[in-house]
A and B are shown apart, each in its own frame.
Chain A
Amino acid sequence: MSQATVTITLPRRGTALGIMQRYGVYIAIAALLIYNLIFTPNFFELDNFRTQFVQVVPVMIVALGMALVIGTEGIDLSVGAVMALAAAVIPLYIGYGLIPAAILAIVVGAVVGVINGSMVAFIGVQPIVATLSLMVAGRGIALLIANEQLRSVTDPGVLSLGRGSLFEGEAFRIPYAVIVAAVLVVIVALLVNRTTFGKQLIAIGGSRRAAELAGLPVKRILLLTYVLCAALAAIAGIIGTARLGASVPSTLGNLIELSAITAVVVGGTPLTGGQVKVGGTVAGALLLQFITATLVKHDVPDAYSQITQAVIILLAVYIQRGRAAVR
């Protein structure tokens, strides 16, 4: 492959196509916002944006962990089940208060991550197979823990995490759930871009063999990545439970793994690993949220709404396809 060929397929940074490829997901969000500005009543109100940001929180947090795992050329299908497990654990320990119950929920989630990570790193099970088994078993265990019942959670700490805000009563109040998500975004971004762990994770995704030859602690990093992903999913489960004011292990996080994978990929992280786009992942999750919001607010029937979602997402992915191809 000569260098000349590469240069021809590489769109210049300044060209329209180049910009589209680089910022596809952001352009799609901007286009949707402009559409809503014109056609959707009451869209450009602080309250509405608060609703969108609150609703996107669970998918966004799960997608952050998913981006890390996908960066290692892996996948984690068990995130929804981990959310269900976290939801099932909360009512058991809420008597001790929000913080102890939340810590226990995260620990239970992390245990799933240890199992996933061990299967992938030490036994060599393919990520999709390893995490698929926990996707099924995890929800089953969650239902067992909850005795197959829904439980209302009325602890004031939990309710305030789900429904309360900083600067309560002010026009620019910020929901606590959104603050938690923002902090996690910053932490994951720093982890990926500023730490040795982040660089090693990406190196493994680029080529596991090369990483092993270079003497990187490949197994340990893989294990840690799956633990982080599961812990993030558990946090999403806690926030989901707080928002509902009820622990619903039978439905919480159902199919969220697919939304999270879509958010990651639309955001420009290739499934082939070796890259993690934290900003893109956040934008990808927001794009999915704005698409849903737009369709619901315009009362589009479910069947059309599903098709429209698929078309918009495929367009965003198609626009970015060229970029993935040249890197």
Chain B
Amino acid sequence: MNTNRKVQSVTGAVAIFAALGLALTGCTNTGTSGSGSTGGSTDTAQTAQAASGPTCDLATYGGEKLDLKNAVVGFSQSEKEDNPFRIAETQSIKDEAAKIGVKKLITTNAQSTLSKQISDIQDMISQGAQALIVAPLNSDGLEPALSAAKAKKIPVITIDRKLSSGACDTYVSFLGSNFVEQGKRAADQLIKGTSGKGNIAILLGSSGNGVTTDRTKGFVDEIAAKGPDLKIVAQQTGDFARDKGQSVTEQLLQSNPDISVIYAENDEMGLGAQAAIIAAGKTPGKDIQIYSIDGTKNAVEQIVAGAYNGVIESNPRFGPLAFKTLQSFESGDKVGQDIIIEDSEYDPSNAKDKVDSAF
């Protein structure tokens, strides 16, 4: 009896350990954006920054000229479309395909599973896709799918997340934001808005996510360089989620009443922080300022209302630029291997006029 019970309790302990492991590693991936309402058909298409650096063309990559109007194009989305960034991204690809009138656009969604993205891409190739636009789930791991495309000389344009494998070899070009730059610009906005004085609490994105690392680096370095009287007093993860951003901010404000400004690495956490500031009996935007990155309608509307201070955009509307790049590549022109897009920004001076372009 005694031994039996012991065995059971050991099994129990193992089960808890497993549960804990899962709980603590946090096996979710919410992407670069949290959720938010969508809408806003007013498109602000991306524009590329002045191109420089290595280029790629048909002769180097291999393949033959193609007119996209007569082509089957495949689009592989990485994450579930449960946040405004992904929704706006997919919609933009669909809209642009319809606009230029491609023969057929096949779209797939990998539901945040790498193996599904690989099979999605392979399926699209076997369905006759002649060009591919891929939003990679991860910077590594897509090799099986990419080599299948390469074998058939199908050009692949990757968007929003950069692959670690070689450009103009495993894929043609990468189109995306510079996340370090986004962090730096948020710091610039913050320095301007606070006149360079105050105590900052940072709400980090999910741990181990490249976007988090970059947005933190850009911000922290810029504050160190240009904000000698600004002090970063806390850096805690809010997992890109509104509720976590809210509860972490509540804790921080309680133990550190000197916090005067919040930098959130996405809008959702910033909106959570806003609720926490209200709960603490203070006025968001005035007593405690809030800056974040994304450009969702919910956050930009708060700037208009005077309860939020600044948002750096991370533009999800890749469609026009992706198809333009693909078309010039297919006509034999040289295209850049790294095409960094221009992100806009919102502050109290322009939010009212630009709120309709938020996603």
Residues of A at the B interface (CB closer than 8 Å) are 1, 5-6, 9, 40-43, 45, 47-48, 51, 55, 143, 148-152, 163, 240, 243-246, 248-252, 254-255, 258-259, 261-262, 265, 270-272, 292-293, 296-297, 299, 301-303, 306, 309-310, 313-314, 317-318, 321, 324-327
Q: Which residues of A contact B13 (CB under 8 A)?
A: 317-318, 321
Q: Which of B20-28, B49-57, B98-106, B148-156 contacts A (4 or more CB under 8 A)?
A: B20-28
Flag if B12 contacts A324 (CB, 8 Å): yes
Q: 4 closest A-B pairs (Cβ-Cβ)?
A: A258-B23, A250-B82, A297-B255, A150-B35
Pick the residue among B5, B236, B257 that contacts A325 (CB under 8 A). Answer: B5
Interface flags, B56-95, vs A, CB<8A=1, else 0: 0000000000000000000000001111000100000000
- Chain A nearest Cβ from B150, distance in angstroms: 34
The 24 sampled A-B contact pairs (Cβ below 8 Å) are: A1-B1, A55-B250, A149-B36, A149-B37, A150-B36, A152-B37, A244-B242, A250-B30, A250-B82, A270-B9, A271-B12, A272-B9, A296-B252, A299-B234, A299-B235, A301-B235, A302-B236, A310-B20, A310-B21, A310-B24, A314-B20, A317-B13, A324-B5, A324-B12
Q: Tell me the dominant secondary structure on chain A's binding face.
A: helix
Flag if A314 contacts B17 (CB, 8 Å): yes
Flag if A262 contacts B16 (CB, 8 Å): yes
Nearest neighbor of B241 in chain A, beta-carbon distance: A251
Flag if B255 contacts A41 (CB, 8 Å): yes
Flag if B82 contacts A143 (CB, 8 Å): yes
- Chain A nearest Cβ from B305, distance in angstroms: 12
Residues of B at the A interface (CB closer than 8 Å) are 1-3, 5-6, 8-9, 11-13, 15-17, 19-28, 30, 34-38, 80-83, 87, 204, 207, 233-237, 241-243, 246-248, 250-252, 254-257, 271-272, 275, 278-279, 298
A306 CA / B275 CA spacing, docked (Å): 26
A219 CA / B21 CA spacing, docked (Å): 33
Flag if B19 contacts A270 (CB, 8 Å): no
Nearest neighbor of B250 in chain A, beta-carbon distance: A51
Flag if A261 contacts B24 (CB, 8 Å): no
Flag if B12 contacts A55 (CB, 8 Å): no
Given contacts A293-B251, A301-B235, whether A251 and B30 have CB atoms under 8 Å apart is yes
- Chain B nearest Cβ from A144, distance in angstroms: 11
Q: Which residues of A contact B3 (CB under 8 A)?
A: 1
Flag if B12 contacts A325 (CB, 8 Å): no
Given contacts A303-B207, A306-B24, whether A270 and B254 have CB atoms under 8 Å apart is no
- Chain B nearest Cβ from A271, distance in angstroms: 4
A5 CA / B28 CA spacing, docked (Å): 47
A248 CA / B35 CA spacing, docked (Å): 7
Q: Which residues of B contact A1 (CB under 8 A)?
A: 1-3
- Chain A nearest Cβ from B284, distance in angstroms: 13
Q: Which residues of B contact A262 (CB under 8 A)?
A: 16, 19-20, 23
Q: Which residues of B contact A309 (CB under 8 A)?
A: 24
- Chain A nearest Cβ from B261, distance in angstroms: 16
Question: With contacts A251-B243, A327-B5 known, what are 11 further pairs, Cβ within 8 A?
Answer: A41-B256, A47-B254, A48-B255, A51-B250, A51-B251, A150-B36, A248-B35, A250-B80, A258-B22, A302-B237, A318-B13
Q: Pick the most buried of B6, B83, B207, B247: most chain A CB atoms within 10 A of its CB.
A: B247
A269 CA / B280 CA spacing, docked (Å): 36
Nearest neighbor of B245 in chain A, beta-carbon distance: A244
Q: Which residues of A contact B80 (CB under 8 A)?
A: 143, 250
- Chain A nearest Cβ from B9, distance in angstroms: 4
Flag if A324 contacts B9 (CB, 8 Å): yes
- Chain A nearest Cβ from B341, distance in angstroms: 25
